[in-house]
A and B are shown apart, each in its own frame.
Chain A
Amino acid sequence: MQVGPLAQVLVGYQANHALTKKWTNKALSIINSLSPRAIGVNDLQSTMGRMVSRAIRSAVIAELAVKHWQLLVDNIASGDTDIYNEPVFPVGEVRGVGFHEAPRGALSHWAVIRDGKIANYQAVVPTTWNAGPRDEKNQKGPYEASLIDNPVADPEQPLEVLRTVHSFDPCLACAVHTVDMHGNPIATVRTLDGQQVNCEV
């Protein structure tokens, strides 16, 4: 599965979602007024299509931002100021899943709660869908598959590879790097299993 603004635009377009149709048609009309090649909705299934889909999604949700601001103001004006319903956790096990269509695509958090405490927690994030490598059947993931047959004019400057990878808007576990210019250890930390490790980079 590929997730992200492209998936959302294709789903919305096919489902006749009014805002998605309006902004997709507008994008295709601007592109076709400037491009030497005719571009249709199916051409969006590509590196550049992911870039354009993100702009389409932005225009769609920008309109919805104003709508939801108005919904909030109207609801408050009707006299409703409620903001919270208290959760009560039962004895025993319950489980829940939270979905969100995040900027990089479909996100889900899965929680198992036992006697009011978390027993298991898993996050299935958009970049896991897209950047995940080969699966158990050895099929390539979306990043890997999308790179096949990409041109590379100069292997020393693989700009074209970056175009395709960047088009997914990758988001992985991040870190802060501290580097000593002369390669000396900066700090020593103790890991959970008791080893001492020098942190160099």
Chain B
Amino acid sequence: MSKRIVIDPVTRIEGHLRIDVEVDAGKVKNSWASGTMWRGIEKILVDRDPREAWIFAQRFCGVCTTVHAIASVRAVENSLNLTIPLNAQYIRNIILIAHALHDHIVHFYHLSALDYVDVVSALKGDPAQTSALAESLSPWTRNSKNEIKAVKDKVSSFVSRGQLGIFANGYWGHPAMNLNPNVNLLALTHYMQALEFQRISNQVVAILGSKTPNIQNLAVGGVANAINLDNQHTLNMSKLANIKGMLDQVVQFVEQVYFPDACAVAAMYPEWFKYGGGVKNYLAVPDLPTDAKGTMFDLPGGIIFDGNLATLMPITSHDNNRLINGITEGVSHSYYKGGADLPPWRGETDPE
């Protein structure tokens, strides 16, 4: 006998998502995903000056604002074949990376780790044993018994007062949770530390972008970060050194904490490498341009079909024909009006 489960809204994500699944004999047999909100920013942009489109476009999202600002200025620059100065390219790239690191750290620790880490079990962990385990996995200097005990005491005091706060409504004690209390306590400690390092990464975005979310420093044609090494009000060596210091801290956190934690959690739930494959056609676009024209990139793009890596078709340019002519938007199962699939330049955004 199958049972329909509705999760609406899905939490610990950005925005509104509804998932329906039909479960039979302990397995999902059918599933439906629905986006239940509409913003209409495409409509708001019509008839506006293209030089200000990015300011509106970054309001597509409340978290990944920066990415829409960048995609928007790139679209308008592409329409004019406009080259931007090298400094602008690099400043944009540093912002993009800092934003992405903030975003990935938040996703792992604060949005998804609690699907695998049991906070209530963590409170049974032993700080000395947890510290010994942590020091065997990573040279990170903040895995001491005292640091771990402080986190345990802090969360224990929430729980003893009946105030789980951000940890309320988790599936604690679920049979699919299988980390031991010490591993849970280590993950909980890094969850707390990750709050600091996602903030530092986002500070880099704020220093170069004037604020975050919704950066203010872009322009169609470049950036608005005046550079004068002798002026304390512009981008100068002292600000650049400050940014470097922050990046170094975030890099260290990624390499010594996030990366080994993600690998360790994966190793302790190996059955989850068997589930969730789904659609195995993949698309990535090249990014982090290293020249002013945006023709050389530090991150490669490509298309892979049917989960077979040997089918890779590299994409080395944003002018790639397959990209430009292969993408269409379909509305057959949406809440939008319209008929056949349309290429985005002729796309329509009319809600039913």
Interface SS, B side: mixed
Assess A110 versus B345: contact at CB under 8 Å? Given A119-B46, A136-B332, A152-B21: yes
- Are A117 and B50 in contact, CB atoms less than 8 angstroms apart? yes
Q: What interface size band does chain A fall in? A: 35 or more
Chain A contacts of B221 at CB under 8 A?
84-87
Chain A contacts of B327 at CB under 8 A?
108, 124
Q: When chains A and B are docked, how far (Å) is the Cα of A55 from the Cα of B112?
A: 13
Q: Nearest Cβ in chain B — how far from A35, in angstroms?
A: 4
CB contact list, B70-98 vs A, under 8 A = 70-80, 82-88, 90-91, 93-94, 96-98
- Are B272 and A47 in contact, CB atoms less than 8 angstroms apart? yes
Assess A153 versus B100: contact at CB under 8 Å? Given A75-B90, A174-B61: no
CB contact list, A119-134 vs B, under 8 A = 119-125, 127, 129, 131-134
- Are A85 and B85 in contact, CB atoms less than 8 angstroms apart? yes
Give the A-B contact count at a CB cut-off of 8 A: 545
CB contact list, A162-188 vs B, under 8 A = 162-167, 169-175
Interface centre among B10, B62, B240, B261 (most CB of A within 10 A): B10
- Are B287 and A65 in contact, CB atoms less than 8 angstroms apart? no
Q: When chains A and B are docked, how far (Å) is the Cα of A159 from the Cα of B247?
A: 35
Q: Which of B3, B29, B299 contacts A8 (CB 8 A)?
A: B299
- Are B67 and A100 in contact, CB atoms less than 8 angstroms apart? yes
Assess A122 versus B262: contact at CB under 8 Å? Given A85-B85, A102-B67, A171-B61: no
Chain B contacts of A189 at CB under 8 A?
none
Binary interface encoding of chain A residues 137-174 relative to chain B, with 1 for a CB under 8 A from any of its CBs, else 0: 00011111111111111110111111111110111111
4 cross-chain pairs, A with B, having the tightest CB-CB distances, nearest first: A96-B79, A98-B74, A47-B276, A146-B278
